[in-house]
Amino acid sequence: MDKKQEYFNLFGDNWDKDLTAEDLERLTHLIDKVKITEGIKVCDLGCGTGVMFDLLRRRVGEKGMIVGVDFAPRVAHKAHRNFPFHNVGVVEARASQLPFYKDNFDLVISFAAFAHFCNKDKSIHQAWHILKPGGRIVIIHFAGRDELARQHHEAGGPIDCDELPTRDQLAMMFEKSHFNRFELTENKDLYLAIGYKDK
Ligand SMILES: C[S@@+](CC[C@H](N)C(=O)[O-])C[C@H]1O[C@@H](n2cnc3c(N)ncnc32)[C@H](O)[C@@H]1O
């Protein structure tokens, strides 16, 4: 296990406790804007203990499916234990090495995790690989680049330098990974990136 994995393994299951009712309301609002339809298959990258699972499950319904991915074994195990539903699965894996077939998911979503991914280029490419044509990747952080960098620096340890890409860096990542287009909304309190894999 590398240092970052160890860090999240130790502290990763505390994130859900830090999520305020206001955060949850904002997350619900954003997820509604993303328009998640019934029956779709969703991959939650860096799922932690499954903070988004319930919100997602309610939208995809019985016929849909949620698969969470997290590289910290203890956290992945907790997510699995928290959501023992037939249409929710949790896989212990790195975002840059996803153990899924090509064209498998309708939506890849990642909340409060992308900035921590060590190999962001590869993770974006992996997301493209597992998305069906017509699918999207949605990356959400409840802070803009500078604010998030400041928070991570303050936290210190192995996440000290974890940052979000600039618009130009993100454009390059999406383009290299064959996404057809992307949108980025950024302000002090939000970083919302959406990449589209056209049909
Ligand atoms: C700040 S927590 C957020 C977790 C969850 N999305 C939430 O909002 O509660 C970031 C999560 O990303 C996971 N993570 C970090 N880097 C990862 C990587 N390269 N691949 C998979 N998971 C990763 C960590 O283990 C951690 O659970």
DSSP string, 17-80: HH--HHHHHHHHHHHHHH-PPTT-EEEEET-TTTTTHHHHHHHHTTT-EEEEEES-HHHHHHHH
Classify 101 as helix, strand or coil: coil
The residue nearest atom 17 of ligand 1, judged by CA position, is 117
pTM as predicted:
0.97
Domain membership of residue 21 (yes or no) is no
CA separation for the pair 84, 52 (Å, rounded): 14
Q: How confident is the model at residue 195 (pLDDT cuts 50, 70, 90)?
A: very high
What is the pLDDT, as a whole number, of residue 13? 67
Query: Is 23 inside any structural domain?
Result: no
Is 17's pLDDT higher than 90? no
23 lines ligand 1 (CB under 6 A): no
Q: Is 148 part of any domain?
A: yes
Cα–ligand 1 centroid distance for 3 (angstroms): 14
12 lines ligand 1 (CB under 6 A): yes
For the CA of 123, the closest atom of ligand 1 is: 19
- Does residue 7 line the site of ligand 1, with CB under 6 A? no
pLDDT at 15 over 80: no
- Left (φ > 0), alpha (ψ -120 to 50) or beta: where does 94 sit? beta
For β-strands 181-187 and 88-92, DSSP reports them as unpaired
Q: Which residues pair with 181 in a beta bridge?
A: 196
- The confidence score (pLDDT) of residue 38 equals 97
Is the residue at 29 inside a domain?
A: no
Tens of pLDDT, residues 66-111: 999 999 999 999 999 999 999 999 999 999 999 999 999 999 999 9
Q: Which of 2, 8, 78, 114 to mutate to test the pocket of ligand 1 (most atoms within 8 A of CB)?
A: 8
| 65-70: strand order across its sheet | 88-92, 65-70, 41-45, 105-111, 131-141, 190-196, 181-187
Q: Among 8-12, 54-58, 167-171, where is mean pLDDT lowest?
A: 8-12
Return the amino acid letter for 76.
Answer: A
**pLDDT for res 1:** 85
In angstroms, what CA-CA distances link 76 with 10, 81, 191? 12, 9, 25
Residue at 64 is within a domain: yes
Q: Is residue 25 part of a domain?
A: no
Q: How many angstroms separate the CA atoms of 181 and 171, rounded?
A: 9
Establish whether residue 72 lines the binding site of ligand 1, counting it when its CB lies within 6 angstroms of any ligand atom: yes
Q: What is the pLDDT of residues 109-163, one digit of tens each?
A: 999 999 999 999 999 999 999 999 999 999 999 999 999 999 999 999 999 999 9
Residue 26 falls within a domain, yes or no?
Answer: no
CATH of the domain at 108: 3.40.50.150
Number of structural domains (the chain) is 1
Does a structural domain hold residue 18? no
pLDDT of 176 reads 97
Domain with 60, as residue range(s), is 3-10+38-196
pLDDT in tens, 39-65: 999 999 999 999 999 999 999 999 999
